Structure 1
Amino acid sequence: MREKFLQPVQKPPVDQAADWANEMVLRETRGPGDLPNAMERLERRHDLPAKTLWSLRYRRPKDIFASLYFKLGQAYQAECERQMRRLSHELEITRAIAGSAHPAVASAEALVGAGHE
């Protein structure tokens, strides 16, 4: 009998784009009822149509344009880098206040170090 190797399961592009959109919108939301505003802020920051973010969240399309998929991927990457910069800045502030020996500083340094690899 011949061995068959399993291939890693990859998400369809629409599902991946929806995951990126949902994650960005949730990170941008400032509280209950702020989803439309969060989508508009992401639209301004990354030149992504707010309608697209809404449809990926609530009425997932069957297909997605490649240009939009890659634009969402770039926006997601930019948001991840933005979050790492914010974490690094907060780490510097916490280190100045609490000192380098504080457990929160050590765990945040480990996270920032893992994010830069």
Structure 2
Amino acid sequence: MGKKGLRMSDTAYLDQAANWSKDLTRMKSRGPGDIENAMRQIEREYGIEYGFLWSLRYRRDRLRIISVSVYETIRAAYRAECERQLRKLENDLARTEKIAGADSSSVRAAKALLGKD
């Protein structure tokens, strides 16, 4: 049986995928009212179907199974987006440090958050 044929019925997998999906949507959203656009962008960038993202968000209680391939795609997209956000934060930190100086409380707090004390 191929990878697409494997299915998990454990609700923990669906719950985790729903959480990743919501976080991905939040990270891609430009503000209130931009959820649909964010989900479309996730579909374009990561290949996760808009309809499935929508179902995870609004019809989670009706979903019973998730394929391994979809679960892994959502997990990989979530990790990639987290890494992108971390790079963005590091870039912002470097720019802020140039402007405010290394002794700025904002710079010190951001470095502590990133573990760069």
Q: Normalized against structure 2, the TM-score is what?
A: 0.85
Kindly name which structure, 1 or 2, has the bigger radius of gyration based on alpha carbons.
1
Q: Percent identity?
A: 44
Where structure 1 has 5 or more consecutive residues not aligned to the other structure, the ranges are 1-10
Where structure 2 has 5 or more consecutive residues not aligned to the other structure, the ranges are 1-10
Q: CA deviation at 1:112?
A: 1.8
Mapped partners of 1:105, 1:32: distance in 2 = 28
1:29 corresponds to? 29
Matches within 5 A, 1:17-96: 17-60=17-60, 61-96=63-98
Cα deviation, 1:70-110, whole Å, max 9, x if unaligned, reads: 11000000010000000000000000000000011011111
Which structure features the higher share of helix residues? 2
Which residue identity is paired with 1:29? S
Q: CA deviation at 1:32?
A: 2.2
- Aligned match for 2:103, one of 95, 98, 101: 101
2:112 corresponds to? 110
Higher relative contact order (CA 8 A, sep 6+): 2
RMSD value, Cα: 1.3
Mapped partners of 1:54, 1:21: distance in 2 = 9
How many pairs were matched up? 104
| Matched position secondary structure for 2:115 | helix
Mapped partners of 1:21, 1:93: distance in 2 = 30
Mapped partners of 1:112, 1:51: distance in 2 = 35
Q: Normalized against structure 1, the TM-score is what?
A: 0.85
Q: CA deviation at 1:36?
A: 0.7
